[in-house]
């Protein structure tokens, strides 16, 4: 009998400024074989790596506290579990690819890493991605490495959807426009929605609501994004954990004038002190607020009502970008788990023909996918997101490990 050849694997890396998340997925698709998170990088006393493998989990200290040290520790663990030699390519999540990167791409070398790392539109995220890429190249100098951009899916938006009504020179000279966010998730979830509902891949209109700490909603026509709620930065659009979402600049100018807050202060207030946290004065966490609302905390309930109202306003607005609304899909930590938020949202959307199925909605959490509306046109559906799967799939295609083309 010939010994079976172990299948090649993709290492998916999602590198932040103080963290490095990884997942090991089979090229052929299927469940992750290992995953982990290095956190508190930059703080040697606290830096640690937690790895999940085969149902088990262990944590080790990273006394050097660097991304390189984290990558070296991940490699050592993969070696220990017999996975290292099977890694055939590496895929990197990148938050912003600007207008330059409209599809996933092979990372050609230091010049491209430098270009990605110096993106002005994601100053917190992209430099960290570059650090992760350099660490991965050091660790796997011979492997193909691929960058998968969150903004790529939104690059099909037309100027009518991505231009701000600012003096045009700011777009021309500085690239100020809407780039969107969570594109890899919107791409996966819209594709899954079409597949699960048996919609025509070439004739559909879907609104995807990615609701987590950061939230955005996207209108998808025949597999292509035509509009999204996020803007140039992840501040615009829906109410988020600590971010305002849409806000009248005049209100900010007034606050600055009255309080003396400068631009940095306003930026911090809008990004870190607002949203669910700012309005509830209790928590940025949807679950905590839901529990508080259900115990009778009126301010928590009102905060969630604002979240839901803004979401409904966007679902309505995004529907206007579709030829027809076939489905509204919910994903992300809140979208996948909160029957409370989904229920309140769908009850407000009867004008769009949506009709909540209370029982189905109540049972949809913890990674389950399924329909939660009585209405069949449009349908409301829960679809757990899987960005790693998309990154691994694009990486496998670009590395020539499987046949096919990028979706």
| Helix or strand run (H / E) with residue 200 | none
Q: Say if strands 215-221 and 205-211 run parallel, antiparallel, or are unpaired.
A: antiparallel
Omega before residue 378 within 30° of 0, cis: yes
Residues 225-264 that bind ligand ADP (CB under 6 A): 241
Q: Per CB under 6 A, does 287 bind ligand ADP? A: yes
Nearest residue to ligand ADP, by Cβ distance, number only: 333
Write the DSSP assignment of 334-395 as a string of letters: HHHH-HHHHHHHHHT-GGGT--B-HHHHHT--TT--EE-BS-SSSEEEE----HHHHHHHHH
Q: Which of 90, 116, 286, 321 binds ligand ADP (CB under 6 A)?
A: 286
Rg (CA), the chain: 22
How distant, in Å, are the alpha carbons of 6, 78, 81, 103 from that of 3?
Answer: 9, 22, 19, 38
Q: Per CB under 6 A, does 303 bind ligand ADP? A: no
Q: Which of 338, 345, 361, 395 binds ligand ADP (CB under 6 A)?
A: 338
Q: Per CB under 6 A, does 285 bind ligand ADP? A: yes
CB 148 within 8 A of CB 104: yes
Of 119 and 290, which CB lies nearer to ligand ADP in the complex structure? 290
Residues 95-154 that bind ligand ADP (CB under 6 A): none
* Choice among 150, 227, 357, 394 that is catalytic: 150
Of 73 and 308, which CB lies nearer to ligand ADP in the complex structure? 308
Binding span for ligand ADP by CB under 6 A among 3-11, 25-33, 146-154, 206-214: 206-214
CA 269 – CA 225 distance, rounded (Å): 30
Q: At which residue do the structure tokens 């076939």 appear?
A: 326
| Helix or strand run (H / E) with residue 161 | helix 159-162
Q: Per CB under 6 A, does 36 bind ligand ADP? A: no
Strands of 40-184, DSSP E:
48-53, 56-61, 87-94, 105-106, 144-149
CA 264 – CA 277 distance, rounded (Å): 19
How distant, in Å, are the alpha carbons of 26, 160, 207 from that of 311?
Answer: 36, 21, 11
Q: Per CB under 6 A, does 16 bind ligand ADP? A: no
Of 105 and 242, which CB lies nearer to ligand ADP in the complex structure? 242
3-state secondary structure of 152: helix
Q: Rounded to the nearest whole angstrom, what is the least distance from the CB of residue 308 to ligand ADP in the complex? A: 13
Q: Rounded to the nearest whole angstrom, what is the least distance from the CB of residue 6 to ligand ADP in the complex? A: 32
Binding span for ligand ADP by CB under 6 A among 78-86, 156-164, 207-215, 292-300: 207-215
Strands of 293-344, DSSP E:
327-331
Tokens coding 304 = 């969630």
Q: Is 305 one of the annotated active-site residues of the chain? A: no
Binding span for ligand ADP by CB under 6 A among 41-49, 70-78, 211-219, 355-363: 211-219
Residues 352-371 that bind ligand ADP (CB under 6 A): 365
Binding span for ligand ADP by CB under 6 A among 53-61, 65-73, 191-199, 333-341: 333-341
Dihedral, 280, 281, 284, 289 alpha carbons, nearest 10: -50
Residues 148-187 that bind ligand ADP (CB under 6 A): none
Q: Which of 233, 337, 361, 395 binds ligand ADP (CB under 6 A)?
A: 337
Number of residues lying near ligand ADP (CB under 6 A) = 14
Which residues here bind ligand ADP, judged by CB under 6 A? 212-214, 241, 285-287, 290, 332-334, 337-338, 365
Active site amino acids? 150
């Amino acid at each position: 009998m010939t010994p079976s050849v172990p299948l090649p694997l993709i290492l998916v890396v999602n590198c932040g400024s103080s963290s490095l998340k990884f997942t090991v997925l089979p090229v052929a698709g299927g469940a992750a074989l290992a995953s982990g998170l290095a956190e508190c990088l930059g703080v040697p006393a606290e830096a640690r790596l937690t790895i999940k493998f085969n149902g088990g989990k262990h944590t080790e200290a990273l006394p050097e506290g660097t991304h390189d040290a984290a990558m070296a520790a991940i490699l050592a663990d993969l070696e220990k579990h017999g996975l290292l030699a099977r890694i055939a390519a590496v895929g990197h999540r990148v938050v912003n690819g600007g207008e330059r990167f409209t599809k996933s791409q092979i990372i050609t070398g230091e010049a491209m890493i430098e270009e990605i790392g110096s993106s002005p539109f994601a100053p917190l995220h992209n430099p960290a991605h570059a650090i992760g890429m350099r660490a991965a190249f050091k660790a796997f100098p011979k492997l193909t490495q691929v960058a998968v951009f969150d903004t790529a899916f939104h690059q099909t938006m037309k100027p009518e959807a991505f231009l701000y009504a600012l003096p045009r020179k700011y777009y021309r000279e500085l690239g100020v426009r809407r780039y969107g966010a969570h594109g890899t998730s919107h791409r996966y979830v819209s594709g899954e929605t079409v597949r699960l509902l048996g919609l025509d891949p070439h004739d559909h209109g879907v609104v995807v609501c990615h609701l987590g700490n950061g939230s955005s909603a996207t209108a998808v026509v025949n597999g292509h994004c035509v509009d999204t709620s996020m803007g140039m930065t992840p501040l615009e659009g829906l109410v988020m954990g600590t971010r305002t979402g849409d806000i009248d600049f005049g209100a900010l100018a007034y606050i600055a004038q009255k309080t003396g807050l400068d631009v940095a202060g306003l930026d911090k207030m809008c990004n870190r002190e607002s949203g669910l946290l700012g309005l509830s004065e209790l928590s940025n966490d949807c679950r905590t607020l839901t529990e508080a609302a259900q115990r009778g905390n009126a301010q928590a309930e009102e905060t969630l009502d604002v979240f839901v109202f803004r979401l409904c306003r966007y679902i309505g607005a995004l529907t206007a970008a579709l030829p027809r609304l076939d489905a509204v899909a919910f994903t992300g930590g809140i979208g996948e788990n909160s029957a409370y938020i989904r229920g309140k949202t769908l009850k407000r959307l009867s004008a769009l023909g949506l009709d909540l199925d209370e029982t189905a909605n109540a049972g949809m959490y913890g990674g389950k996918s399924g329909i939660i509306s009585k209405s069949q046109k449009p349908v409301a559906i829960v679809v757990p997101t899987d960005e790693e799967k998309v990154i691994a799939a694009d990486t496998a295609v670009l590395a020539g490990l499987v046949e096919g083309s990028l979706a």
